[in-house]
Structure 1
Amino acid sequence: MEQAGRPDGRGLVVAIDGPSGTGKSTVSKRLAAELGLAYLDTGAMYRAATWWCQHEGVDLSDTDRVAAAVEAMPLQMVTDPADPRVVCAGTDITAAIREAALTAVVSTVATNLAVRAELCRRQRAEIDAEASGAPGTRSAGRGIVAEGRDITTVVAPDADVRILLTADEAARLARRARERHGSADAAAIAATRDEVVRRDAQDSTVSTFMTAADGVTTVDTSAFDIEDTFRAVLGVVRAVSEAR
């Protein structure tokens, strides 16, 4: 597909939101690769903030110290959709931030409002740099696909395309169980429930990502496989691009 920008010359900005297990990350990376755009996983930035606080010995319950640590965090997001990585203080922490122990506590940092303000600022800066073609950016001004909590409402409410991926709880749990444990049997579902259901409930206290805001297109992926989801999202992007 030919990549479509905007009449003002800025690159295309696609924002994809939704709860855990809807296919956000997989589809967003594939979409970015298809369109020649950069890719930003904003959720990984909250995980990185949690890793950094632990690395620095900060008590995650001390909201002020956590906020100060995150403000000083030396974070680099590698926005290549084929190989997205997270680098903090020169250390590649891409794998480390997905470990179960960190996943269990990331919401403590993600619900810190001062942390959210700081990371939203950084996310907007990443998006603007890719859309404007700032020197050294991945897409050379073609644009970016950004995914994660608040992206369609708080971080990038003026994105060219805003999509909320949703799915029923059973479908989301099964997907995450297969991703984490290789199967969706009862034991795998039980082991995954806390990560999906509890985290969504906790994060929803400071973020709206279960229902679409005005102007945001909802794509229900409950009955979709990843190919169906990708085609549906690509169709929304094409429709919006062609209308401009």
Structure 2
Amino acid sequence: MQLLQTCDELRRWCRSAPGDPAAALHFVPTMGALHQGHRHLIERAAAPLSPSGPLPRVLVSVFVNPLQFGPGEDFERYPRDPLADGALAAAAGAGALFSPSVGEMFPGGEAELTRVLPPPALLQVLCARSRLGHFEGVATVVARLLALVQPDRLLLGEKDWQQLVIVRRIVADLALPLRVQGCATWRESDGLAASSRNRYLSEQQRAQAARLPAALAQGRRAWQSGERDPARLEQLVRAELEQGGLAVEYVEMLEARRLRPLDSSAPPQGPRLLAAAIRCGPSRLIDHLVLMNRPPIVAIDGPAGAGKSTVTRVLARRLGLIYLDTGAMYRAVTWWVLRHGANPAVATEVAPLLAGLELSLDLEASGEQQVSVNGHDVSQAIRHPDVTAQVSQVAAHACVREALTQQQRALGARGRLVAEGRDIGTAVFPDADLKVFLTATAAERARRRAHDLEQRGFAVPPLVELEALIAERDRQDSSREVAPLLQAEDAVELITDGLAIEEVITTLVDLFRERIPEEAWPAPEGGADA
């Protein structure tokens, strides 16, 4: 591992590309006094983004930033241990450690430094109310570091949730070309979130500080028991902390992604943040938990040929969600119709059978999808040629579509889904945690269609003809009365021209993690979603 102390040394290292030239540059900024939480971050940064991808280059910075310390705070006594920091960073997989002086970071002095001011709404909640200027100092130094390093990916811990939200906002507002990845809070054996300031605590104070995660856990249990009133949850946590002899700075419940106050008149949607800050002995400690009404739902829509099915299957496996295969559901209905001897082409024979139909989709230990009809596994039966030959006739009936929409909504009540299909984000799951309109230009989809036909041994029409057919289908899909091709207002449009499947998956995972933190929905073992 190289030790870099000047901006010139940093620039030279970042611009050099030893090993695989395709390797990304991942950056972990810290204030030093590295602990196991930092080690976990660096190890995550050093892991490839896909099983077959190149190992990234990892840079760690250590800079005790004076701009983020207020009057009377612990800047002078903040723990500094450069030798131990270097050893931990190297062992965790860092390729270089940047440890500049204050003069190197602010060559014109603090008074002459251009400042970065986060949006006012993000400075009116949580830690910002009592730590005036803190997040301005964080934003200013992070922006300077990002300009120097120009990384592909920035990794931050989810423990400092407000900081993570603010940095994401800065990166988005300044259109910086990098991804911000949050990583789950690393906790000690007593549940206390890892922090450099834990070093200040005596043994007795350490035991007392452990009441912080315990109090938040009490809030989680109340939530799981049905308590939804923010004021009551806040008071419950505050009372637990005060009973433990801790000085409470705040207990606050907010909308997690944007740190907005909760609207008591609206039904709860999206993850909630229940956060607290306390003082214990010489230390100010923060912690939080994220509360969800149900496991997450991802809704993916878009035109034919954009790669929705392929992407959805992989994304579901990567995030430990169930792939809602709408095609399998129509096959299951067809199997049910054939089993009862009804004519698939006659709606009046199909409709009565829908009243006694209950579909279920689940994820087997192998990762394969299991489809059940009224409790019976039909995963293999629905692939029979007889079902394949009749499914289009069954799917054409309005009564079938209405019944399956109801079934899909029933599955959505339990969450844990990645669903793709027409109007999935507008009509079926309007409250999905992430909505994506996955698309590509007609020219790109024509190229993909030609490649698919060629691979399967079929004749390939001219690309101009294929593109015209695709454009006409888009027009028809967008203008039809039932289930038109429409992008939900709050959906993220993702144009996949020129992107490999793994690049699309990585982008979708990043969008998901902006909304659902790792600590609220961890990635499955073996399916890390970095």
With the length of structure 1 as denominator, give the TM-score of the two structures: 0.71
Q: CA deviation at 1:186?
A: 5.3
Aligned partners of 1:226 and 1:111: how far apart in 2? 31
Establish whether residue 238 from structure 1 lines up as the match of residue 513 from structure 2.
Answer: yes
Aligned residue in 2 for 1:9? 292
For residue 215 of structure 1, what is the amino acid of its counterpart?
D
Partner of 1:149: 422
Matched, 1:92 2:349: no
The Cα RMSD (Å) is 3.8
Q: Provide the identity percentage.
A: 36
2:313 to 29, 32, 41: 29
Residues 4-83 of structure 1: matches in 2 within 5 Å?
A: 6-7=271-272, 8-10=291-293, 11-80=295-364, 82-83=367-368
Contact 1:40 1:79 in 2 (8 A): no
- What's the CA shift for 1:221? 2.1
- Is residue 406 of structure 2 the alignment partner of residue 121 of structure 1? yes
> What is the CA deviation profile of residues 154-175 of structure 1, one whole-angstrom value per residue up to 9, with x for unaligned ones?
1101111111212345644665
Residue 223 of structure 1, aligned match among 470, 494, 498: 498
Q: Give me the whole-angstrom Cα distance separating, in 1, the residues matched to 2:458 and 2:405.
A: 37
Structure 1 unmatched ranges of 5 or more: 132-142
Q: Report if the CA contact (8 A) 1:77-1:86 is conserved.
A: yes
Structure 1 residues 115 and 26, CA gap change in structure 2 (3 angstroms): same
Deviation for aligned residue 1:103: 5.1
Q: 1:183 Cα shift?
A: 0.6
1:98, distance to aligned residue in structure 2 (A) = 7.8
Q: Contact 2:299–2:418 (CA<8 Å) still a contact in 1?
A: yes
Distance in 2 of aligned mates of 1:188 and 1:19:
21
* Counterpart in the other structure of 1:140: none
Residue in 2 that maps onto 1:183: 455
Instruction: Tell me how many residue pairs correspond in the alignment.
Output: 223
Asked if structure 1 preserves the Cα contact closer than 8 Å seen for 2:313 and 2:323, the reply is yes
What code does the residue aligned with 2:434 have?
V
Cα distance in 2 between the residues matched to 1:183 and 1:67: 39
In the aligned structure 1, how far is the partner of 2:384 from the partner of 2:506?
A: 27
Q: In the TM superposition, what is the alpha-carbon distance from 1:21 to its structure 2 partner?
A: 3.2
Tell me which protein shows more helix as a share of its residues. 1
Which letter maps to 2:321?
Answer: L
Distance of aligned partners of 1:185 and 1:229 in 2 relative to their CA distance in 1, 3 Å threshold: farther
Query: How far apart in 2 are the matches of 1:110 and 1:45?
Result: 10
Query: Higher mean Cα deviation, 89-98 or 107-116?
Result: 89-98
In 2, the alpha carbon distance for the partners of 1:172 and 1:102 equals: 28
The offset of 1:213, in angstroms, is 2.5
Bigger relative contact order, structure 1 or 2 (CA pairs below 8 A, ≥6 apart): 1
**Structure of larger gyration radius:** 2
SS in 2 for 1:208: coil
Whole-angstrom distance in 2 between the partners of 1:86 and 1:177: 32
